[in-house]
């Protein structure tokens, strides 16, 4: 009966999280500033992350840092986990006899701690963050202290995080579309993330919100849904 049902299918609705995507936060390519490398940004972020904390973001940061290799020998002297009030986590690190401070968290919070950041540097960071956010990424900012003063923070870079599609999601969806089946994506995520993922797996980028359907009668709701790629 399942084969018969599949043969008569016209529209298939797929949940985004866990079906199209892996339901796992993953660090994408870091953005680096002021002479820092991508490896520097990921390593510093890992220093300000809690091992064994079961925090999805910290786990993603640590996994990424482990894949690219550890920067240098270090000893973490102190660690303050992320809190909603502070909007950041931080650590004091000792490496080669010197101590420095690393901070990871909300962009505005981290920027406010980088007292020596120029207007041009701030504009560059905010522009990069806007571009990444427009693609649906969640953004973490990373900074470290410079010199002997642990309060003199320098913005090292940004870490974009996303829940990526399964490796075979695009191929599966394209194959079903070739069979004449319309694919629609359903999600509770914000519309920027929905559009980015739907485009990436060849569903399309015409995503509507539930508010666009509320005041329509049933037939118009159906028409609008079929004109778009998800909601």
Segment 151-169 shows an average pLDDT of 94
* Helical segments of 2-118, H only: 2-7, 38-47, 56-68, 107-113
Any catalytic annotation for residue 15?
yes
pLDDT band for position 142 (cuts 50, 70, 90): very high
Closest CA relative to residue 183, chosen from 228, 220, 144:
228
pLDDT band for position 70 (cuts 50, 70, 90): low
Q: What is the pLDDT of residue 19?
A: 94
Residue predicted with more confidence, 5 or 224: 224
Closest CA relative to residue 164, chosen from 190, 191, 201, 205:
201
Closest CA relative to residue 48, chosen from 96, 109, 137:
109
Q: How far apart, in whole angstroms, are the C-alpha atoms of residue 202 and residue 186?
A: 15
Query: What would the pLDDT profile of 169-197 be if each residue is shown by its tens digit?
Result: 999 999 999 989 999 999 988 888 899 89
The per-residue b/e assignment along 14-40, b for 16 or more CB within 10 angstroms, e otherwise, is bebbebbbbeebebbebbbbeebeeeb
Strand partners, 149: 146
Question: Residue 59: how many CB atoms within 10 A of its CB?
Answer: 17
pLDDT-above-70 percentage for the chain:
98
Q: How far apart, in whole angstroms, are the C-alpha atoms of residue 147 and residue 136?
A: 36
Segment 64-86 shows an average pLDDT of 83
pLDDT tops 80 at residue 53: no
pLDDT tops 90 at residue 151: no
Query: What would the pLDDT profile of 7-41 be if each residue is shown by its tens digit?
Result: 788 999 999 999 999 999 999 999 999 889 999 99
Q: How far apart, in whole angstroms, are the C-alpha atoms of residue 49 and residue 60?
A: 10
pLDDT tops 70 at residue 72: no
Task: Name the pTM for this structure.
Answer: 0.78
* CA–CA distances in Å: residue 215 to residues 136, 171, 218: 28, 36, 10
Q: What is the pLDDT of residue 71?
A: 58
Pick the catalytic residue: 15, 29, 123, 223?
Answer: 15
Q: What is the pLDDT of residue 215?
A: 87
Q: How many Cα atoms are found within 13 Å in the side-chain-facing hemisphere of 89?
A: 19
Q: What is the pLDDT of residue 191?
A: 86
């Amino acid at each position: 009966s399942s084969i018969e049902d599949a043969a008569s299918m016209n529209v298939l609705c797929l949940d985004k999280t866990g079906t199209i995507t892996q339901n796992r936060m993953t660090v994408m390519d870091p953005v680096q500033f002021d002479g820092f490398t991508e490896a520097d940004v990921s390593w510093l972020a890992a220093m300000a992350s809690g091992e064994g904390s079961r925090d999805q973001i910290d786990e993603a940061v640590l996994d990424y840092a482990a894949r690219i290799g550890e920067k240098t020998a270090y000893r973490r002297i102190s660690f303050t986990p992320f809190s909603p009030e502070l909007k950041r986590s931080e650590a004091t690190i000792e490496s080669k006899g010197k101590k420095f401070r690393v901070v990871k968290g909300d962009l505005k919070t981290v920027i406010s701690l980088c007292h020596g950041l120029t207007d041009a540097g701030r504009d560059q960071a905010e522009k990069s963050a806007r571009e990444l956010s427009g693609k649906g990424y969640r953004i973490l900012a990373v900074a470290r202290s410079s010199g002997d003063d642990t309060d003199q923070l320098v913005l090292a870079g940004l870490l974009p995080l996303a829940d990526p599609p399964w490796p075979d999601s695009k191929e599966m969806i394209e194959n079903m579309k070739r069979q004449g089946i319309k694919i629609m994506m359903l999600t509770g995520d914000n519309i920027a993330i929905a559009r980015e993922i739907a485009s990436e797996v060849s569903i399309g980028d015409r995503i509507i919100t539930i508010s666009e359907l509320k005041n329509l009668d049933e037939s118009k709701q159906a028409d609008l849904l079929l004109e778009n790629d998800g909601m």
